[in-house]
């Protein structure tokens, strides 16, 4: 039997999430890097197209979270367009941003 690392509940075979607490079972790797506001939209588009990204979090210079984008398999342009518009506004307001990327470990 396999148990959840967070709540110790018994997991269903081949589960992606714990049915008791909702914690992701698959390992996640986090990367963090700084970009200028000019490169923000371009960098996020590139990350979305990489495919193994689960979530993109945009933070300002002080570390305050400005935007949290959940990225799912099969994201299409129509769905992501509002997020990119919000990124354009953030890029106009903030001079430097930090992008935190959560990826699935292979």
- Length of the chain, please? 106
The yes-or-no verdict on residue 2 having pLDDT over 70 is yes
Catalogue all structural domains in the chain, each as residue range(s) with its CATH number.
28-104 (3.30.1490)
Provide the pLDDT for residue 78: 45
**Burial 22-31, CB ≥16 within 10 A → b, else e:** eeeeeeeeee
Provide the pLDDT for residue 80: 60
pLDDT digits (tens, 9 = 90+) for 66-104: 888 877 654 554 456 666 667 766 665 667 888 889 887
User: pTM of this prediction?
Assistant: 0.63
């Amino acid at each position: 039997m396999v148990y959840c690392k967070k709540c110790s509940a018994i997991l269903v075979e081949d589960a992606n999430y714990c049915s008791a607490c909702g914690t992701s079972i698959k390992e996640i790797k986090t990367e963090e890097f700084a970009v200028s506001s000019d490169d923000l939209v371009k960098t996020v588009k590139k990350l979305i197209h990489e495919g193994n990204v689960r979530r993109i979090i945009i933070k300002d210079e002080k570390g305050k979270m400005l935007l949290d984008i959940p990225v799912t398999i099969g994201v299409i342009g129509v769905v992501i367009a509002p997020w990119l518009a919000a990124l354009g506004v953030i890029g106009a307001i903030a001079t430097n941003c930090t992008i935190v990327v959560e990826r699935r470990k292979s």
